[in-house]
Structure 1
Amino acid sequence: MSNWQKSSMSGNSNQCIEVRTAGGLIEIRESDAPGAVVVTTPLKFALWLEGVKRGEFDHFGAG
């Protein structure tokens, strides 16, 4: 199991998403709610990241 990693863009803030690998899977959590963990496969995570890079989820950040 690897250590939790967050974007360097979040600095010391607790307003970020953290990611790590565990047993061949990807775990994702919010730094301010570390008890709630989402687990997914590396393939699904990679596909989601590609969608983020293409801007498919940009409308969720507008506000």
Structure 2
Amino acid sequence: MPNHWQKSTSSTQDGGNSVEVIANSDGMIEIRESETPGETIVTTPKKFALWIEGVKRGEFDHFAA
């Protein structure tokens, strides 16, 4: 896993503001917005993987419309 904050290459379309993800030293997944880097959400790799599967299935598409 990368040891730096990672964002989608699509993020540049929003002027650099983006959602970023990293695996911390405990193996947990941290999620933040680049605009507010001091505020993070922490979750397990399993929960994050399940969420990604939902994204791939289009379950959250209505939030991006």
Q: Does 1:15 align with 2:14?
A: no
2:29 is matched with: 26
- TM-score by structure 2 length? 0.87
Higher mean displacement: 3-12 or 16-25: 3-12
Q: CA deviation at 1:14?
A: 3.0
Give the AA of the match of 2:52.
Answer: L
Greater Cα shift, 43-52 or 4-13? 4-13
Among 44, 47, 50, the residue aligned to 2:50: 47
CA–CA distance in structure 2, aligned partners of residues 5 and 16 of structure 1: 10
Deviation at 1:18, TM superposition (A): 0.2
Q: TM-score, normalised by structure 1?
A: 0.89
> Structure 1 residue 5: deviation in Å?
0.4
Count how many residue pairs are aligned between Structure 1 and Structure 2: 62
Which stretches in structure 2 are left out of the alignment for 5+ residues? none
CA distance in 2, matches of 1:21, 1:45: 11
Q: Distance in 1 between matches of 2:32 and 2:62?
A: 21
Matched position secondary structure for 1:35: coil
In the alignment, the residues of structure 2 paired with residue 14 and residue 47 of structure 1 have an alpha-carbon distance, to the nearest angstrom, of: 27
